Chains A and B, each alone.
Chain A
Amino acid sequence: MITLTIDGKKIQIEEGTNVLEAALRNGIDIPHLCYHSDLSVSGGCRLCQVEVEGYDQPVTSCGMACAEGLVIQTQSERLTAIRRNLIDIFLADHPLDCVTCDKAGSCLLQKYAYEYGVKETSYIPIYSKTLYQDDNPFFIRDHQYCILCGRCVRVCDEIVGVHAIDFANRGFESHIATPYDGPMIDSSCVFCGNCVEVCPTAALLPVSRLKRGREWDLERVDSICGYCGVGCKIEYAVKDNEIIYAQASVQESVNGSFLCTKGRYGWDFAVNPERLTQPMVRRDLAYSLGISTENWRLPKVSPLDIDKPDVDDYFIPVDWETAYEIVSSKLVDIVKESGPDAIVGLASARCTNEENYLFQKLMRAVIGTNNVDHCARL
C-alpha cells in the first residue's frame, strides 16, 4: 500500500493503481470520458488532467501511477479553463440535441458541459460524422454523437475478445468502424452490447430504447438474469410495465459492468403473444369431465412435426379453481390406485429456489415419493 494526498485527503491505495482510479474509489470525481475502470488507459480525452505538486504542467490522472507522497489537486482555475476548452472542442463536433436526445440524463458529455457551464461551442461547429447505421435489431450506431473516446473499441477487444470494431481513417474522417464499414452482422460482433453499455454519449443506443421516454422517467429494477448459470445482475429500465432496455447493474455483482447478448437483449420473450395466460384443459379430458361437449382425440402426429401448433386447437381455458381440482383429484386417485411411486415430478432449473423447494416437498412430504428430478443433466 502507498499513501498519497488528493485534494488534501490522505489516501491509501495498492501499488499500480492510477491516480484517477484512486480518486474515484475515494469519492473524488475527476471528469473523464475515455477512461473506464475495467479497460486499459487511453488518455485521449484529456479531461482528467490534474495538478501535481512539483510539476509545471497538468498531468492526465488516468495515465499517472500512484506514488508514495504524491500530492494532487483535482480542481484549480487552470484546470477549469483547460476542461472548459476541451468540452468546447468536443461540442464543436457534437450536435446539441439534448432536448430530444434519448441519452439526455445519462450522457457524460452533457453532464460535464453542465458542470463546467459550457452552453455552446465558441468554435465554428463542424459535424464531421453523419453516418447512421441501423443494420441490426440490437443497437444503432449514430456517429454524429461519437466523441471517439474509444471505450467501445477497448471493451470489444479487451473484455469480449472479439475486436469487431476499431478506429478508421484520420482527422475529421476518423470514426469507429467494422472492417470496410460493413454491416455489423458481417463482422465478428457477438451483439453483447457491452460497447453500448460503456458509450458515454448517444452514439450507441439499444434499438428498444429509441424514442421510448426520457432517462429520468424510467423506473429501474435490479434482478438476476434468467438464462445461464453465471447469475448476472441486470438493471431493467421500465416504463408503464414495459421493459425499455437492460444494462449491467451498477451495484456490486458477479458480472460487473458487462452482460452477454441474451441477458441484455433477450428479455422480450416475456411479452410474446404466445404466453400462456390462463389454465387450460385438453379437449379430450374436458369432454370426459363434462366441461366440453365436443368429443376430441389427441392427434397422432407429433407436436414437433406441426409447423405452428395452436394451443387453442388442443385445449380449452378453465378457471384456476377447476384446474386445481382436476390436478389434485387425478394425482390423488393415482396415488390411491398405484402408490406414490407411480407419480413423477420434474422441477426446473429456471424456477426459483423457493419454487423448487416447495415442489420437492410436495412430491416427498405430501405425495410420498422421491421421484423428483430436474434438468440438471440436460
Chain B
Amino acid sequence: MQAFGSGAMTNSIDEIRDADCIFITGSNTAEAHPVISYEVVRAVKGGANLIIVDPRRTPLVDHATLYLQPHPGTDIYVFLAMMHIIIREGWLDEDLIQSETEGFEAYSEIVKDYPPERAALISGVPEDQIQLAARLYALGERAYGDSHYQDARGHSTILYAMGITQRSNGTDSVMTMANMSMLCGQVGKPSTGVNPLRGQANVQGACDVGCLVNVFPGYQRVTDEKARKKLVKTWKVESLPAEVGLTIVEATHAALEGKVRAMYIMGENPMMSDPNTNHVEQAFRNLDFLVVQDIFPSETAFLAHVLLPAASSLEKDGTFTNSERRVQLLQGVIAPPGEALPDWAITSAIARQVAIKMGKDSASKQWEFSGTAEIFDELAASTPIYGGMSFDRLEPQGLQWPCPDQEHPGTPILHVGKFARGKGKFNPVEARDPAEKTDEEYPLNLSTGRVLYHYHSGTMTRRSAPLHWREPHSYAEINPEDAAVVDLKDGDDVDIHSRRGVVHTKTRISNDVPPGTIFLAFHWRESPANRLTQDFALDPVAKIPEYKFSAVRLEKPSAKRNN
C-alpha cells in the first residue's frame, strides 16, 4: 500500500502457472491455499523455478528447485542480501527505477549494509543459496523449458502470506517484497508482482468496504475531510467521525481499562483468534454489553449477553471479493436453520432501531432493503473502486477492482505502465528482530498457523465430519532434537508454556520444523494456541500481532517444574 498505493494481490491467480520463477515466503500454500498451490505445481512441472524461503519445511518444498531455511525471524536479512546482490551484480531494471519510481538512492544506501555474508551468519542460509535465489528471481530464470513470454527477462512472481506479516516488523517485510519486485521490474506485467494470499473468504472485501479503523469504503481515509464530506452526502448524515478508531487488539486493551464498554461482534471468534487469550477473556468479561452474531455458539459467544443466529455463507446471497480482487456472486444453496437470518438483515434491523432511539427517525428509513442487490448498489456508489459494478455485471466470472465505471472491464493486473500512487516508492527498510526474546526459561520459538483440514478458529471445520475424521485433535510439531531434551516421543502429551499461559496438546515429532521452533495451529479449542501468544508488540503500522514468534518451553505434563 505504501509502496505502490494499493493493498492487494497485484496480479491474478491464473497467471501463476505461466511464471518463469515463483518466489514464496511465509506462505504454507499447499495447506492454506491449496488451489493456488495447484497453479504453482503446474508451473514447476512446466519448468519454472520455485524458490521457497521459510523456516518451516512446508509441503510445497517437495516441488521447490531452491529451498532457503532461515532461522525464525531472520528472513529479512536474506531478502535484504538478495537485493544487495541484485544491485551489486547489476541485475536491476534501471529503466523502470529511473522513470517510474522514487526513493531508490536512500533505499540502496541501506541495502549496502546487508551483504550476503552478514545474512548467512545471522540466518544460517549459505551465501551461495542467497546468490542463486537473487539471480533466479531477478532475471526470471527457468529450470527448463520455454517461457510463456518473449521478454529478455523472465517473469518472476512473489507469493506471500501471514508468515511474513504476522510479525512485529510485518510492514517492513511487505515493503521489502515491494522493493524487490520494483528493483527487478517484476511488477506491472503478467505473472509478476507482489501477491499476498489472503486467508479468509472475504477478507479482501471486508477491507475494501471499510471494515478497518482508518478508512471508509474504498480505502478513503477517515482523516481526509474531502472523503468525509463526500460520504456525508451519500449517506445523508450530518457528520462522520474523523479520528482513527481502535483496532481489535487495541480495543481489547481499552475494554480492560473500561474505556470501551460494549462490543458488537459479527462472525468472529476473538477468544480463539486474538493474541493472549487470557487478556481477551478478561476484556470481554469486563464489558457492560457484548453482542455476538454468529452461526455457532463460538468460544466468544459464551461470554456474550445476546446471541443472534446468522445464516452461513451457504444460506445467503451477496458478494465475496477474493484474493485477486475479484468480486463474485454467492447464491443461497440451502435454507438457513430455524430463525437464523442473513447478517445483512440483522444488522440493518439493529441500525433502524438504534437510529430511531437516537432520534434519527429519518435515517432509519435508509435501512430498508429489498435484498442484497440494492445494498450492493449503495456500496458501489460509496466505494470508488467498485463504482462500475452491479449484480448483473458480476455473472459469470465476477469483476476485479478497480472498476470505476460501468464501461470498465475490471483490472486483472495492477500497476501496468504506472503505479497506482503515481511513482512506485522504495521504502528504506532495516532488519529488526522479533519483539519477544527467548531465554533460559523460555528457550524455544512458537509459531502459529493453520493445517490443511481446518480453517481459522475451527468453528466450521471442526464440525465437519470428514475433516474431523482426518484431523481430529490438536498437535504441536516439534523437532526431534527439542523433543529429546524433554524426553518426548511422538504422540506424547505435552504442555507448552509461555510468559502468558500454558496449553496442553500432543506431540508430532517432525523434521519439518527446525530445531528451536514449535508449530501449533490455532484451530483447537482444547489447545488454544493464543493463550501463548503476545499482544504487547504489534507491528507499528498494520497493528498485526506477532503470531509467528513467542518464546515458549516444553514440559512433560507429569514432570515437576524445576524453576
Contacts and interface: CB of A to CB of B under 8 A. Distances in A.
Nearest to A184: B470
Contact of A276 (B251, B307, B351): B307
A356 B343 CA distance: 9
A231 B322 contact: yes
A329 interface: yes
Interface of B is mostly: mixed
B513 interface: no
B344 A352 contact: yes
A190 B354 CA distance: 48
B35 A254 contact: yes
A359 B343 CA distance: 9
Nearest to B44: A161
A268 B260 contact: no
Interface residues of B, number: 167
B241 A370 contact: yes
A259 interface: yes
A326 B289 CA distance: 10
Nearest to A235: B333
25 contacts: A158-B42, A161-B44, A190-B452, A227-B200, A229-B203, A236-B314, A242-B334, A254-B14, A263-B35, A269-B312, A270-B312, A304-B299, A326-B306, A344-B262, A346-B270, A351-B206, A352-B372, A355-B318, A356-B210, A357-B217, A360-B209, A360-B211, A369-B245, A370-B241, A375-B200
B262 to A, nearest CB: 5
A349 B467 contact: no
Contacts of B204: 229
A57 interface: no
A265 interface: yes
Residue from B166, B261, B326, B367 with most neighbouring chain A CB atoms (10 Å): B261
Contacts of A285: 305-306
A262 B260 contact: no
Contacts of A357: 209-210, 217, 375, 378-379, 382-383
A320 B339 contact: yes
Contacts of A98: none
A84 to B, nearest CB: 36
B396 interface: yes
B322 A277 contact: no
A254 B322 contact: yes
Interface string A315-333: 1000010011111111110
A277 B323 CA distance: 31
Contacts of B314: 223, 226, 236, 243, 267, 270
B430 interface: no
A358 B355 CA distance: 13
Residue from A324, A338, A365 with most neighbouring chain B CB atoms (10 Å): A365
B544 A377 contact: yes
Interface string B380-404: 0011000000000000111000000
B466 A138 contact: yes
Contacts of B324: 231, 254
A131 B134 CA distance: 51
Contacts of A279: 306-309, 339
B316 interface: yes
